[in-house]
Amino acid sequence: MKLTKIASGKQKLKLSKKEWQAIGKKAGWMKEADQEFRPFNGSWNNDYPGTFQTPSWQEERRERGACPSCEVVVVNGVKTHEHGCPDAWMDVTRECKWCGSDFKPSEKDQILCSDDCASSYHN
């Protein structure tokens, strides 16, 4: 650590990367980071035996229940997305335009809950 004065008369603290990492380990930041950004374990590709397929980071986040596009925050017990998140529609429950049942959409502009409702609605 090095304390220096800058032109305005204020003091500035300089840390090396090694010192900063030591502070992080002592505070427990590294354990949290290891859990959030652990390396992918991957999965075996069943279509081609003997080949190894690594999932993308978005698939990994989605499997853990996290949003692939933003940092999800829990406010008063309700999971919320960041303002302007392009994947916020995935957590919204919609009402089917044909049968009236509630469903979670698999596509952004989906208005019907199933293929049966879609064929009845459009015919």
78 φ, ψ (degrees, to nearest 5)? -115, 125
Q: Which residue has the tokens 């090694």?
A: 18
Amino acid at 82: E
Question: For 33-92, how does the pLDDT look when each residue is reduced to its tens digit (9 = 90+)?
Answer: 555 544 444 444 455 444 455 456 667 776 666 777 887 777 887 778 888 888 888 878
3-state SS, residue 109? coil
- Asked if 53 and 45 touch (Cβ cutoff 8 Å), the reply is yes
This prediction has a pTM of 0.42
Tokens of 70: 């933003």
Is residue 63 assigned to a domain? no
- Domain of 28 in residue numbering reads as 1-38
- Is the CA virtual torsion 86, 90, 93, 94 positive or negative? positive
Residue 28 lies in a domain: yes
Note the pLDDT of residue 24. Answer: 78
The CA distance from 23 to 21, in Å, is 5
Domain tally, the chain: 2
In a domain, 65, yes or no: no
- Gap between the Cα atoms of 93 and 110, Å rounded: 11
